[in-house]
Amino acid sequence: MSAPVSAVHGSTVTKAAPKPIRRTAEFHPTIWGDHFLQYTSECLEVDDNIEKQVRKMEEEVKTMFVDAAPNPSETLQLIDTIQRLGLAYHFENEISEKLREIKKISLDEFNNDIISLWFRLLRQIGYNISSGTCVL
């Protein structure tokens, strides 16, 4: 049995879907008003004194790198602290320079904590250090 198929050529009329009716929300005015809007421009401006303090503190941290230079374990702990504070982006050059210097040092004199910190810091910045380099 075959069903009759009709092929009628003609244009089909499509009606636009009716637009949904949306109610307007009539919220009560806020009790805060524009109170907090006046603080936005003042908060974005950086005070000159704050900029000077930041520069001074950056210089202090750089001198801490110089002071910690003879002691690799102290340098590694300083780098770890700076990274944990989220300030490493200020001292990328100093950190990579110190890690390059420390990479050349023998690990025999350090304890396991410092060696594991050494591995983590070097691997974080992209050095491929194998775990066979030093037996913990």
pLDDT at position 48, please?
Answer: 80
Residues spanned by the domain of 112: 49-133
Examine residue 16 and state whether it is found in any structural domain, yes or no: no
* CATH assignment of the domain containing 112: 1.50.10.130
Examine residue 121 and state whether it is found in any structural domain, yes or no: yes
pLDDT at position 4, please?
Answer: 60
Does the pLDDT value for residue 8 go beyond 80?
no
| 72: CB partners within 8 A, 6+ apart | 102, 105, 110, 114
| 73: CB partners within 8 A, 6+ apart | 110, 114
Does the pLDDT value for residue 57 go beyond 50?
yes
Number of domains into which the chain is organized = 1
Examine residue 102 and state whether it is found in any structural domain, yes or no: yes
pTM of the model: 0.60
